């Protein structure tokens, strides 16, 4: 298969593919039975979206609009070839049952390869002593814990317990860092004053709420001596905490998402109830905070940029309008869609506008997430032996983002009307063309489950 350029290190060569793997990288490879001309294009490793939600059972009657079929179709159309969504434990239920259920949802539906993070919501003795260690040893090597949401949050004591298991087993922990009591207190006061419109979602979760929890998560991880990754970091005060910890030599990693680069609090203040479309947690901040997030992508504070795709439809009684269009912001499901727009947005506004270079783009969106979650070098690189998950980008193509062109099952995009430059033209998953010029070609269910190895990023500082 002949290609023009490829980029991780940037070089010009052909990429030879056999049986779904990369087998040769050289100038002028001999002719192959099937060739794709990528002259004047960029060939990048397929994106790894290490934080996205699809077909995740919700506790309150809300239903995610994307299952593994529509969610992964949307992924490939946006240049992502590996997804890592979450098998979520409900309080009172077993973690293993959540994993089994999630496999059933993915098998026969996903069009690209997938791994699972776990969500540990109920760290009983059985979970801590048996289920979690066994799952970690079976290829579920990362899990998320929440410091907020009544149905998911862990106490500090529980956080310490799960961090200790992570340390013992070499698992990698992702933390949703917001102070639950502060949010509950703010919500109660706002609702008592009748301040229930979508924009008050941001008022109820000011930066200090995230800053405090970020600091506390770091302190707990320091006490246990285990690395953690703070997910969906939204602004300066959380970045300061993470930088402070990194400067202390602690192994603290960080993720951010497009919504913290491209949306602000003002997007929650749209007419009628439409601000609900941009309700996510933590909330988008302001332009100054966006700049701090851009700076963090350049200076190494952040290791990964994920979508946090959370597919809730707007005009839907099982989505954003679960309690109608006059409900409190607090009843609106948190999260926004973005699995398909993640890479094009960062490519256009990051690479093409000169804010980040191409290598940083690849690192943040593909190589680093593959390394962080134990999928490297099978995923996240263009190298001999790696899966031939490749995206051919047209770096010049101008696109006006509109929901009709996207492949998700959500009825809106927060980025409607945005003009960007640079877009995936062709996506290959294990050597197979799964997307070309607007059309998803992948067969339903061709995606395979990826057991994850232990991450080298999860190693404690002080051994053993
Ligand atoms: N956290 C997430 O990671 N996703 C959606 C909502 C949330 O709070
Ligand atoms: Zn979260
Ligand atoms: Zn999420």
How many angstroms separate the alpha carbon of residue 26 from the centre of ligand 1?
Answer: 43
Residues 68-106 pLDDT 10s: 999 999 999 999 999 999 999 999 999 999 999 999 999
pLDDT at 9 over 90: no
How many angstroms separate the alpha carbon of residue 249 from the centre of ligand 2?
Answer: 25
Q: Whose CA is nearest to atom 1 of ligand 1?
A: 281
How many angstroms separate the alpha carbon of residue 308 from the centre of ligand 1?
Answer: 7
pLDDT at 20 over 50: yes
Q: What are phi and psi of 11, to 5 degrees?
A: -150, 165
How many angstroms separate the alpha carbon of residue 151 from the centre of ligand 1?
Answer: 13
> 3 or 184: which carries more pLDDT confidence?
184
Residues 374-408 pLDDT 10s: 999 999 999 999 999 999 999 999 999 999 999 99
CA neighbor of 446 nearest in space, from 75, 187, 173: 75
Q: Whose CA is nearest to atom 7 of ligand 1?
A: 281
What confidence category does residue 2 fall into, taking pLDDT thresholds of 50, 70 and 90?
A: very low
How many angstroms separate the alpha carbon of residue 309 from the centre of ligand 3?
Answer: 7
Q: What average pLDDT score do residues 96-120 get? A: 98
| Alpha carbon distance 128, 392 (integer Å) | 44
pLDDT at 3 over 80: no
pLDDT at 5 over 50: no
Residues 310-324 pLDDT 10s: 999 999 999 999 999
Q: What average pLDDT score do residues 53-63 get? A: 94
Calculate the average pLDDT of the chain: 96
| Ligand 1 closest atom vs CA 51 | 3
| Percent residues over pLDDT 70 in the chain | 98
How many angstroms separate the alpha carbon of residue 323 from the centre of ligand 2?
Answer: 22
Q: Length of the chain, please?
A: 464
pLDDT for the residue 4: 38
Q: Is 308 in the pocket of ligand 1 (CB under 6 A)?
A: yes
How many angstroms separate the alpha carbon of residue 392 from the centre of ligand 3?
Answer: 28
How many angstroms separate the alpha carbon of residue 159 from the centre of ligand 2?
Answer: 15
Q: Whose CA is nearest to atom 5 of ligand 1?
A: 335
CA neighbor of 325 nearest in space, from 267, 269, 266, 275: 275
Please report, for residues 114, 141, 144, 243, 374, the alpha-carbon distance to residue 452 in angstroms, rounded to integers and kept in the order given: 10, 6, 15, 28, 5
The pTM (predicted TM-score) of the whole model is 0.97
pLDDT for the residue 185: 98
pLDDT for the residue 110: 99
Q: Is 232 in the pocket of ligand 1 (CB under 6 A)?
A: yes
pLDDT for the residue 464: 62
pLDDT for the residue 60: 84
Q: Is 350 in the pocket of ligand 1 (CB under 6 A)?
A: no
How many angstroms separate the alpha carbon of residue 331 from the centre of ligand 2?
Answer: 16
* Ligand number, closest to the Cα atom of 51: 3
Q: Whose CA is nearest to atom 3 of ligand 1?
A: 308
Q: What average pLDDT score do residues 289-308 get? A: 97
Q: Is 148 in the pocket of ligand 1 (CB under 6 A)?
A: no
Q: Is 310 in the pocket of ligand 1 (CB under 6 A)?
A: yes
| Alpha carbon distance 1, 35 (integer Å) | 4
| Ligand 1 closest atom vs CA 281 | 8
**Mutational test site, ligand 1, from 334, 338, 342, 414, max ligand atoms within 8 Å of CB:** 334
What confidence category does residue 8 fall into, taking pLDDT thresholds of 50, 70 and 90?
A: low
| Alpha carbon distance 274, 265 (integer Å) | 13
Q: Is 159 in the pocket of ligand 1 (CB under 6 A)?
A: no
* Ligand number, closest to the Cα atom of 176: 2
């Amino acid at each position: 298969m002949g290609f023009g350029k490829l980029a991780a290190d940037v070089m010009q060569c052909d990429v030879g593919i056999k049986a779904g793997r990369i087998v040769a990288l050289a100038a002028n490879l001999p002719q192959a039975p099937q060739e794709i001309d990528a002259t004047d294009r960029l060939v990048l490793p397929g994106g790894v979206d290490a934080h996205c939600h699809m077909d995740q059972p919700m506790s309150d009657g809300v239903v995610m609009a994307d299952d593994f079929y529509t969610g992964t179709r949307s992924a490939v159309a946006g240049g992502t070839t590996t997804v890592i969504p979450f098998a979520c434990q409900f309080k009172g239920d077993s973690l293993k049952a959540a994993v089994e259920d999630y496999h059933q949802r993915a098998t026969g539906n996903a069009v690209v390869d997938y791994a699972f993070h776990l969500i540990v919501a109920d760290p009983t003795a059985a979970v801590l002593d048996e289920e979690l260690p066994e799952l970690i040893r079976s290829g579920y090597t990362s899990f998320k814990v929440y410091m907020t949401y009544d149905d998911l949050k862990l106490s500090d004591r529980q956080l310490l317990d799960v961090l200790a298991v992570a340390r013992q087993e070499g698992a990698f922990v992702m933390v949703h860092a917001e102070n639950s009591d502060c949010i509950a207190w703010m919500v109660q006061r706002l609702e008592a004053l009748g301040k229930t419109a979508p924009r008050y979602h941001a008022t109820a979760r000011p930066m200090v709420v995230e800053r405090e929890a970020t600091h506390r998560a770091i302190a707990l991880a320091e006490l246990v001596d285990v690395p953690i990754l703070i997910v969906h970091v939204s602004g300066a005060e959380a970045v300061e905490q993470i930088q402070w910890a990194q400067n202390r030599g602690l192994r603290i990693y960080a993720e951010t998402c497009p919504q913290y680069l491209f949306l602000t609090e003002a997007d929650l203040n749209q007419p009628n109830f439409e601000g609900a479309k941009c309700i996510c947690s933590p909330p988008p901040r302001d332009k100054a905070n966006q700049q701090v997030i851009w700076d963090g992508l350049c200076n190494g504070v952040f290791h990964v940029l994920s979508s946090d795709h959370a597919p809730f439809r707007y005009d839907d009684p099982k989505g954003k309008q679960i309690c109608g269009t006059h409900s409190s912001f607090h009843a609106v499901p948190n999260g926004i869609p973005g699995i398909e727009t993640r890479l094009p947005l960062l490519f256009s506004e990051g690479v093409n506008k000169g804010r980040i270079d191409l290598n940083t783009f690849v690192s943040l969106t593909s190589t680093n997430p593959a390394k962080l979650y134990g999928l490297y070098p099978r995923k996240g690189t263009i190298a001999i032996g790696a899966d031939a998950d490749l995206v051919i980008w047209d770096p010049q193509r101008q696109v006006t983002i509109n929901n009709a062109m996207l492949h998700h099952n959500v009825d809106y995009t927060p980025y409607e009307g945005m003009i960007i430059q640079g877009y995936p033209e062709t996506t290959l998953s294990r050597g197979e063309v799964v997307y070309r010029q607007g059309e998803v070609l992948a067969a339903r269910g061709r995606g395979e489950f990826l057991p994850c190895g232990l991450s080298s990023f999860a190693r404690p500082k002080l051994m053993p």
